[in-house]
Structure 1
Amino acid sequence: MSNAPSERTGTGNGGSRRKFPDWVVIATLGCGGIAVSLEKTAVVPLLPEYPRIFGVTSDDVSWLVTVTLLTAAVATPIVSKLADMFGKKRMLLIAMAMMVVGAFTASVGGTFFWALVGRALQGFAGAVIPVGISILRDALPQQKIAGAVSLMSASFGIGSALGLPLSGFIYENLGWQATFWVVGLIAVVIFAAVVVFVPESRVRTPGRFDYEGALLLSGAMTALLLAISKGGVWGWTSDAILGLFAAAAVLLAFWFPLELRKGQPLVDLRTSARRPVLLTNAATVLVGFSMYANMLVTTQQLQLSKESGFGFGLSVLVAGLTMIPAGLAMVAAAPLSAFVTNTFGAKSTMVLGCAVMAAGYMSRVVLVHTVTGIIIGAVIISVGTAVAMAAMPTLIMSNVPLTDTAAANGVNTLLRSVGTSTCSAAVATILVSITIRVDGTVFPGVDAFRAIFAMAGCAALLATGISCFIPRSVRREATHPALHAEPGQVQPPPVDAKQEIMVTGTLLADDGRTPVPGGVVLATDRRGQQVDWDRADDRGRYAVVLPGDGQYLLIATQHQWRPVSETLTFPGVPHSHDIRFKARLTLTGKITHDNRPVDGALVVLVRPSEGETVAVHSDNAGNYELPLPRPGTYILTVVEPDGATSHTRRVILPAPNTLIDVELGTAPPTTGLRI
């Protein structure tokens, strides 16, 4: 965040660049999401063939999937955070460039090693969807955001559905290298389209990147996902898996307090702990778990040999083709999710999507004996998945600062990956645990598939229940002052205009010079509806994004200062605006002995967990005053001037009582409320 004067963001036209129709931007970013999911699924149908192609074991080949997952887990939160800081379009292009380089590295290298390197580079593409969604929020007018986000979210499933038959067709006609370079060529075309058609947002969060937090989180997520992915192969109780789980726990134990101390963390845990964000992310893990079972098991079920008694013996290509209706259903569901979001809110969209997923899995438990029944169940689940996934970024972006949307979406995407990885491990365990033997050949039993569908359905039901408790979000973008103009006043802007204003500044102490870190700035429109908010960094710097010209109220609060508010009217005031606190909050009280004031008593406030100590002496009227410290548990000790009598009590701050009177040597202390 910078104190330099800010400009009207002009996110709809990217500054002075030519403005392209909104549908071109939506189509370009949506195709980017499809390319990412194509890259993820292109290798899946060929996993049984790679041991013969490369001359390696099946366990070695599994690294082609695992390494991409691990790279994405590391890259997605980092690239997303950098997008908020240095430009969303810029980081989107970098992520796509890595995908292109990875595709041609794997193709041209021709060996298993280079295929592994290429797949690792392709993992950077995991950030394309969360960053792309954040660009849509910045670039489009409010009425088009829900539909565009729905399509972008559905692109993951669309590409997955198309990737299975496409990779089989390419392999049969052009060879295994083509499965990489064809996807690479598609990515090159989309890269060029992004350069030409997608505007760069001016909504930025400048500042110092959290290198320490990125390093710890990367290590923790690598250890966690590697343990989940390889648990079934290496053994869940093996030393390697237990060591990885322990390493993840230790790294997270260091990471959490580090992020809480930083003013500009990689992941704002205080924001993540807000009820709407926390519940959305919790439901996201379950949705990721539930949706992946449909993608992972359906083609396996259709390709299973007829000798099993319930398999259909379809080829890789034909089994992949059966997934196309599910992909098309996700496209068709995008307008539905947009309608529900615009009419009833993103919470209702989330609940509906999760409930439809649960219903789809109930049908799949029963419909296991016909191809038509399997396709119908897969389509129902895909519709629910598209609707639920469309709601997630909308819920996240409605409850985080507008300068942190890419980072918050990146964390949400990472948690979805945790869900899909856990599902993959659970599915593999069930398929090898519930088997049948036919003429000496072992096949997964039909009850294994039913158990998987029942498990995924329970996850969807639990996600539905959690989603019901998500508070309804404030639709901040709809609060442009001109939208509520009275007759004769400023008229609404054209629907394609999005001229946001970013206001930056510093929270200052009453001396007008000392920065106040850790405060929160809330911006509301003239109707009192929240339009944005931000948490100041270590230097007291903040940035809020306003919908456009008009009158706004800025409310600043910090635990050591009395809240202040100021009214700003645009145009008419600079876009760089410092906020000055006027009165410090204090912890006060009176020291008495036998109802007589004690002059010169020592009052000590200690925070045992960190050794912080502050001390003052009472005046001749027995009164004392301490600066109100940051929240926590403290020990308040009072010692008489002669040192003969003392009193100690535990104090939890912040608390409604900022007046603590202490009576030494007789009755228990009394407390009162005085602010």
Structure 2
Amino acid sequence: MTETLEKPARPVREHRWSKRLVLWAGVLILANVLADMAVSSPMMVLPQLLDHFDTDQAAWLNASALLAGALWSPLLAKSADVLGKRRMLVATLLISCAGAVVCLVAPNVWIFLAGRFLQGAAFAAVFLSVALARQISTPRVAMALIGLVTSGSSVVGIVEPYVMQPVIDVFGYRSVFFVAAVLAAVAALCVRTVVPQAPVRGGGRVDLKGALLLGGGIGSVLAYVSLGRDQGWLSGLMLTLLAGGVVALTCWVLLALRTEEPVVDLRGLTRPILLTLLALVLAAGSFRSMLQLTSIVAQVPAGLGLGYGLGEGEAVAVLLSAPNVGIVVGGTLAGWLAGRYGPALPLLGGIAVGAAATFAMLAGVSVLPLAIACGTVAGMAAGAIGASGYNLATGLEAPERQGTVAGLVSVVLALGSVVFNFAGGEILKATEIAGVFADGAPVSTATGVQVYAGMTGVLFLLAAVPALMLARGRTPIPSPS
């Protein structure tokens, strides 16, 4: 009897859906809404920003938060495992709030970019909420919760342009950052007061040097890929970024191999985790490229006679919002299926659905109903792949390392998105038609668009290979405990 009393109390985790769990899910979705807004909302006021700061550096204003997010991720992911998931999620939201305030009052473009660097910390909210969801509920419930958390914020993408545009028209570009700051503060307060602390926390320390080398290396390489086309691939700044990134990543690998507690344990990356990351980098590149192609085709009027184009009236708004509907449906469904059959099958299913939508889009580039259907299905694939990737990777790691692996998934998703979006953009650039524009932007030939869609389809097929290997070797889902 004495022995029983001396055992530490076992943390209580939600083993079924309840009002309390629904409330937690709502708060975590709110935190992820901030991540979406931090990256996307400023693009709604990009012309006003360029005019206010008297600059033509649109690429830096566009990519700054995403690149900062890649830099922040390794540090915040490892810190979450050591210091606690909820604590780091609250800290992340407060850092992003401070960044939005800096952007709000920035007197020049350099201080504005510093604010965007802080605001980019919101990128970590997604994987921190995933790690937290894993530990406040049992495995079967957590998978469905992760599906909701990773995809639910896309609802905002459906209504945001309609809600924010009137506000921007009245109050100007600063309204975007005011809303982001308020939302971040509210989300931080809600997480701190409503969501419980994760019961599992790892020991050891945070490898600050390794985190800075890894984050800085990834951020520099992504900056080169993202900005090189606008800034000049062989310009001094771009070459410095690339060289600095390669050196930083090389130093990080050497450090990680001899450090007892590295920010990412390269020696501990098992075959299933490596297969998961490979599938995700290819699949992320596939669905992001597909969504980018849909947005481009949506803004080209069919009247130009190019053999493709759908941009007329409300068609643009419908085509741009359809993928967000699909993301919510796909992510939620994938989480529910993962709780019953494991996350490997929904990952493979999402990739198969994405491939089907991509190849159908070869005809949908000139047929509006088919394009809307393809955009929606591509969104479903994106939601399913994201939710299943987080579920699969975190399920393969011990609880005290789930924050780190969730952060790694986020970085891999960003890496695939940036690299293959760039590749698609280069295809379109190589097939531009001289002197022909849509909404002021150059347009490409029908052949260029078809090659772009074909590339995306091939990437989906390549992603299916490691996903199929994972599905064939899947393990049973743990029963609730």
TM-score (norm: length of structure 2): 0.89
Give the Cα–Cα distance (whole angstroms) in 2 for the partners of residues 453 and 172 of structure 1: 36
- State the one-letter code of the partner of 1:123: G
Q: Deviations over 1:513-549 (max 9, x none)?
A: xxxxxxxxxxxxxxxxxxxxxxxxxxxxxxxxxxxxx
Q: Is the 8 A contact 1:164 1:321 kept in 2?
A: no
Report what 2:479 is aligned to: 478
Q: Is the 8 A contact 2:139 2:480 kept in 1?
A: no
Secondary structure at 1:383's aligned position in 2?
helix
2:25 maps to 1:26:
yes
- State the one-letter code of the partner of 1:456: T
2:444 maps to 1:444:
yes
- State the one-letter code of the partner of 2:282: L
Give the Cα–Cα distance (whole angstroms) in 2 for the partners of residues 56 and 88 of structure 1: 39
- State the one-letter code of the partner of 1:39: A
Give the Cα–Cα distance (whole angstroms) in 1 for the partners of residues 139 and 183 of structure 2: 30
Q: Rate the CA distance shift 1:356–1:263 in 2: closer, same or farther, 3 A.
A: same
2:116 maps to 1:119:
yes
Q: Rate the CA distance shift 1:113–1:176 in 2: closer, same or farther, 3 A.
A: same
1:300 to 296, 300, 304: 296
Report what 1:8 is aligned to: 9
Report what 1:143 is aligned to: 140
Give the Cα–Cα distance (whole angstroms) in 2 for the partners of residues 181 and 427 of structure 1: 34
- State the one-letter code of the partner of 2:295: T
Q: Rate the CA distance shift 1:415–1:159 in 2: closer, same or farther, 3 A.
A: farther
Report what 2:272 is aligned to: 276
Q: CA deviation at 1:417?
A: 0.9
Q: Deviations over 1:142-165 (max 9, x none)?
A: 332121111122246444454455
- State the one-letter code of the partner of 1:269: L
Q: Deviations over 1:376-407 (max 9, x none)?
A: 11101011111111111111112111101011
Q: Deviations over 1:225-256 (max 9, x none)?
A: 11111221233355554444343333322222
Q: Rate the CA distance shift 1:54–1:257 in 2: closer, same or farther, 3 A.
A: closer
Q: Is the 8 A contact 2:343 2:391 kept in 1?
A: yes
Give the Cα–Cα distance (whole angstroms) in 2 for the partners of residues 247 and 180 of structure 1: 31
Report what 1:405 is aligned to: 402
Secondary structure at 1:204's aligned position in 2?
coil
Q: Deviations over 1:244-276 (max 9, x none)?
A: 43433333222223212222110011222x111
Give the Cα–Cα distance (whole angstroms) in 1 for the partners of residues 453 and 45 of structure 2: 24
Report what 2:232 is aligned to: 235
- State the one-letter code of the partner of 1:447: T
Secondary structure at 2:396's aligned position in 1?
coil
Unaligned runs of 5+ in 2: 1-5
2:90 maps to 1:89:
no
Q: Deviations over 1:572-601 (max 9, x none)?
A: xxxxxxxxxxxxxxxxxxxxxxxxxxxxxx
Give the Cα–Cα distance (whole angstroms) in 1 for the partners of residues 388 and 75 of structure 2: 23
Give the Cα–Cα distance (whole angstroms) in 1 for the partners of residues 343 and 372 of structure 2: 28
2:385 to 382, 388, 392: 388
- State the one-letter code of the partner of 1:291: F
Unaligned runs of 5+ in 1: 14-18, 481-675
Q: Larger relative CO (CA 8 A, sep 6+): 1 or 2?
A: 2
Secondary structure at 1:154's aligned position in 2?
helix
With 137-146 and 82-91 compared, the bigger mean Cα shift is at 137-146
Q: Is the 8 A contact 1:431 1:444 kept in 2?
A: yes
Give the Cα–Cα distance (whole angstroms) in 2 for the partners of residues 292 and 225 of structure 1: 15
Secondary structure at 2:168's aligned position in 1?
helix
Q: Extract structure 1 runs of 4+ deviating beyond 6 A.
A: none
2:67 to 70, 75, 87: 70
Q: Is the 8 A contact 1:102 1:120 kept in 2?
A: yes
Aligned-CA RMSD value: 2.7
Report what 1:287 is aligned to: 283
Superposition map of 1:504-543 within 5 A: none
Q: Is the 8 A contact 2:428 2:449 kept in 1?
A: yes
Superposition map of 1:261-660 within 5 A: 261-272=258-269, 274-305=270-301, 308-309=304-305, 310-314=308-312, 319-437=316-434, 442-470=442-470, 472-474=473-475, 477-478=478-479, 480=481
Q: Is the 8 A contact 2:99 2:118 kept in 1?
A: yes
Q: Rate the CA distance shift 1:261–1:83 in 2: closer, same or farther, 3 A.
A: same
Q: Rate the CA distance shift 1:104–1:306 in 2: closer, same or farther, 3 A.
A: farther
2:255 maps to 1:258:
yes
Q: CA deviation at 1:320?
A: 4.1
- State the one-letter code of the partner of 2:99: G
With 168-177 and 99-108 compared, the bigger mean Cα shift is at 168-177
Give the Cα–Cα distance (whole angstroms) in 1 for the partners of residues 436 and 422 of structure 2: 28
Superposition map of 1:29-68 within 5 A: 29-57=28-56, 60-68=57-65
Q: Is the 8 A contact 1:20 1:197 kept in 2?
A: no
2:217 maps to 1:217:
no
Q: Deviations over 1:297-321 (max 9, x none)?
A: 3333222356633444457x97345
Select the structure that is richer in strand: 1
Q: CA deviation at 1:220?
A: 1.4
Q: Deviations over 1:122-154 (max 9, x none)?
A: 110111111101111111133321211111222
- State the one-letter code of the partner of 1:352: G
Secondary structure at 1:201's aligned position in 2?
coil
Secondary structure at 1:228's aligned position in 2?
helix
Q: Deviations over 1:100-131 (max 9, x none)?
A: 12222212336433432221111101111111
Q: Rate the CA distance shift 1:460–1:166 in 2: closer, same or farther, 3 A.
A: farther
Larger Rg: 1
Q: Is the 8 A contact 1:41 1:163 kept in 2?
A: no
Q: Rate the CA distance shift 1:239–1:188 in 2: closer, same or farther, 3 A.
A: closer
Report what 1:184 is aligned to: 181
Give the Cα–Cα distance (whole angstroms) in 2 for the partners of residues 320 and 8 of structure 1: 53
Give the Cα–Cα distance (whole angstroms) in 1 for the partners of residues 80 and 7 of structure 2: 18
Q: Is the 8 A contact 1:351 1:468 kept in 2?
A: yes
With 159-168 and 409-418 compared, the bigger mean Cα shift is at 159-168
Report what 1:524 is aligned to: none
Q: Rate the CA distance shift 1:283–1:8 in 2: closer, same or farther, 3 A.
A: farther
Secondary structure at 2:443's aligned position in 1?
strand
Q: Is the 8 A contact 2:329 2:383 kept in 1?
A: no
Give the Cα–Cα distance (whole angstroms) in 2 for the partners of residues 238 and 6 of structure 1: 63
Secondary structure at 1:392's aligned position in 2?
helix
Q: Is the 8 A contact 2:99 2:115 kept in 1?
A: yes
With 253-262 and 73-82 compared, the bigger mean Cα shift is at 253-262
Q: Deviations over 1:38-72 (max 9, x none)?
A: 22111234434533343211xx1221222212211
Q: Is the 8 A contact 1:41 1:160 kept in 2?
A: no
- State the one-letter code of the partner of 1:464: A
- State the one-letter code of the partner of 1:21: R
Give the Cα–Cα distance (whole angstroms) in 2 for the partners of residues 160 and 271 of structure 1: 37
Q: Is the 8 A contact 1:345 1:472 kept in 2?
A: no
Give the Cα–Cα distance (whole angstroms) in 2 for the partners of residues 281 and 6 of structure 1: 38
Select the structure that is richer in helix: 2
Q: Deviations over 1:494-525 (max 9, x none)?
A: xxxxxxxxxxxxxxxxxxxxxxxxxxxxxxxx
Secondary structure at 2:204's aligned position in 1?
coil
Q: Is the 8 A contact 2:331 2:385 kept in 1?
A: no
Secondary structure at 2:324's aligned position in 1?
helix
Q: Rate the CA distance shift 1:161–1:211 in 2: closer, same or farther, 3 A.
A: same
Secondary structure at 1:21's aligned position in 2?
helix
Give the Cα–Cα distance (whole angstroms) in 2 for the partners of residues 248 and 434 of structure 1: 31
Q: CA deviation at 1:88?
A: 0.7
- State the one-letter code of the partner of 1:300: I
Figure out how many residues of one structure are paired with residues of the other and give that number.
467
Give the Cα–Cα distance (whole angstroms) in 2 for the partners of residues 9 and 301 of structure 1: 55
Q: Is the 8 A contact 2:140 2:480 kept in 1?
A: no
Q: Is the 8 A contact 1:11 1:199 kept in 2?
A: no
Give the Cα–Cα distance (whole angstroms) in 2 for the partners of residues 313 and 127 of structure 1: 35
